[in-house]
Structure 1
Amino acid sequence: MNDDRDAPTVRDVSDWWSTAISRVEPDVIELRGHPIQELIGSTSFVAVIWLLLRGQLPTPGQERLLEAALVSSVDHGPHAPSIAVARIAATCGIGLNNAVASAVNTLGDVHGGAGEQCLHLLGEVATRAGAGESVESAASSVVGRWRARSRYLPGYGHRFHTVDPRREPLLRRVQEAVDDGVVTGAYLRAAEAVEGELARGRSRPVPINVDGCTAVVYGELGFAPPLARGLFVLSRSVGILAHAWEETGQGRRNKGPMPPSIPPTFLS
């Protein structure tokens, strides 16, 4: 059987893995065109994250704002499912990388996805406000539509905190970035309008939480919604690693979700 198709060339194979992120050849490592030896010692880890995702180095203001968001999400204690899984996995005879991977794999739509979802919500409000509608009217319409689909509104309220302690410092830094001309404030205004809409007619407000605050940051900085989840995963991986490492030093084996002395309720 004859095959008239051209045989694959070396260029075909090279193009199969074409990338603008890194160039690695003998004695050469470049990230987005920047030699690694020039980045080491002169560029922060946060700035390199921006460089790899966005293609250029951030301004100092952009770097500060991204760093604040990443720091805010590193850990929320063993009651967070991802942290609990990391600690349980670490007692099962696997390596740290396996424990971290096990924990990261729990970060889905319910645990870990609220920032991405909130960024979609705030984007709808900001887009309508940018088209001439008042931000309050836009927030009312968008919140109503989202609540028709689900009682839960991503990025607002918290099961532990009356007011999330990360709210004020994050939103303050966004406002400072607005004042300095680093960002426009469109997502900050949208978030505050949604917060106001949720408080309307209630004796207790429903304040924005860390997922909503980081969504504001990522929206202001121009990150696409899926990257809000990716950046959360990157941030939370720090806490996951720390908890997995601590657990390995405590000597437990096959740690379950509760002490053996407390049996689960049997439903007869």
Structure 2
Amino acid sequence: MSDIPTDAEAVSGWWRTSIIDMAPGKIAFRGRPVEELIGNVSFAQMIWLMTRGELPDAGQAALLEAALVAGVDHGPQAPSIAAARMAATCGVGLNNAMATAVNMLGDVHGGAGEQCAELYYGIAALMDAGADLPQAVPSGLDNWRSRHGKIVSGFGHRFHKPVDPRAPRLMALVREAAEAGVVSGRFAEIGETVQAELARQRGGRPIAMNIDGATAVIFCELGFEAPLSRGLFCLSRSVGVLAHAWEQTQQGGRNKGPMPPKFLPRYEGE
């Protein structure tokens, strides 16, 4: 029998997926017919199914949903939201305005959750290798800073000092989930110990665990790999982006820039 694929085999094998089985009259996600999922699973459960290949239990889904709800918006002062609103005044559709915003969610604005998850997983790896938590946290911070710099993603906030109001609520939900056996609570301990260590390094001045630090705890507790933290944040923030783009569309305005026309950028040339 020839090992050379036929044209049909070559075409059908060009893309390979375990996510969807789709044919005329058939749609199944991860082996589950779509008609059985519609009306029976939540959007958070669907996100889990699509990214992880299985359905979460109710407690896992509730914790994921809490993280998604917490990150939906942070106002027009957030660069991505501002960009979406500006795009909406330029005559583009909602999808274009949303894409403008999501494309801005990079390492500096939007990527902190992924970076914080990397920190937490790095500390957990040190603990798995034999270090206790008080030893692993400073070492993990040193390792992380050697790659990313001195500012630790997930901690500190330019507006919310000394407390980001979203983080304590999320951490309380993690603790409840740990008590119920939904998650281990290990990454909650890691996150809070990192926060305490950063405060110690600042001479005792408190520092907020921000939304990225708290959602990273949840994503790690639920077993999502670090890069998915950014994708999940993009899904969450897209809700706020949509709302702001639609609101701006309703308000009207044309070609709105980043500041009112009477204010001009400072010219520093000759």
Please tell me the TM-score bracket, short chain as reference.
Answer: over 0.9
Tell me the SS of whatever aligns to 1:29: strand
**Alignment-derived partner of residue 91 in structure 1:** 89
Gaps of 5+ in 1: none
What residue is the counterpart of 1:158 in the other structure?
157
**Whole-angstrom CA distance in 1 between matches of 2:136 and 2:188:** 14
Please name the residue that 1:219 is paired with. 220
Aligned to 1:34: 32
Instruction: Report the TM-score, using the length of structure 2 for normalisation.
Output: 0.94
Give the Å deviation of 1:6: 4.6
User: Which of residues 121, 126, 129 in structure 2 aligns to 1:128?
Assistant: 126
TM-score, scaled to structure 1: 0.95
Answer with 146-155 or 45-54: which moved more.
146-155
In the alignment, the residues of structure 2 paired with residue 148 and residue 14 of structure 1 have an alpha-carbon distance, to the nearest angstrom, of 45
Other-structure match for 1:195: 195
Equivalent residue for 1:266? 267
Q: Deviations over 1:62-111 (max 9, x none)?
A: 00110011011110000100000000001111111111111111000000
Distance 1:56 1:5 in 2: 34
- Note closer, same or farther for the CA distance 1:148–1:57 as it changes in structure 2 (3 Å cut): closer
In 2: Cα distance, 1:152 partner to 1:7 partner: 52
Superimposed CA distance per residue, residues 125-177 of structure 1 (whole angstroms, 9 cap, x where no aligned partner): 11212333111111011223334551211100001101101011100111111
Q: Are 1:180 and 2:180 matched, yes or no?
A: yes
Alignment match, 2:71: 73
How far 1:250 sits from its partner (Å)? 1.1
What one-letter code is carried by the residue in structure 2 that aligns with 1:177?
Answer: A
- Count of residues in correspondence between the two structures: 265
What whole-Å deviation, never above 9, does each CA across 1:23-59 have from its counterpart, x for those lacking one?
A: 1111111111111111111111111110111111100
Distance 2:128 2:154 in 1: 21
**Cα shift at 1:7:** 6.7
The residue identity in structure 2 corresponding to 1:84 is A
Counterpart AA for 1:154 = S
Report the CA distance between 1:14 and its aligned residue: 1.1
Residue identity opposite 1:26 in structure 2: P
Residue 12 (structure 1) shift: 2.0
Separation (CA, whole Å) in 2 of partners of 1:251 and 1:239: 18
Distance across 2 between alignment mates of 1:180 and 1:131 = 28
Rounded to whole Å, the distance in 2 between the matches of 1:7 and 1:151 is: 53
**C-alpha separation in 2, matches of 1:19 and 1:221:** 24
Query: Equivalents in 2 of 1:122, 1:62: separation in Å?
Result: 19
Give distance in 2, aligned partners of 1:172 and 1:181. Answer: 14
Over residues 221-242 of structure 1, what are the superposed CA-to-partner deviations in whole Å (9 max), with x where a residue is unaligned? 1111110000000111111111
Deviation at 1:17?
Answer: 1.8
Aligned counterpart, 2:109: 111
| Amino acid in structure 2 at the alignment position of 1:51 | L
> Aligned AA for 2:35?
Q
Q: Which residue of 1 aligns with 2:209?
A: 208
Q: Is the 8 A contact 2:126 2:140 kept in 1?
A: no
C-alpha contact 2:84 2:241 (8 A) present in aligned 1: yes
Alignment of 1:230-241 (within 5 A): 230-241=231-242
Provide the rounded CA distance (Å) in 2 between the counterparts of 1:30 and 1:262: 55
Identity %: 55
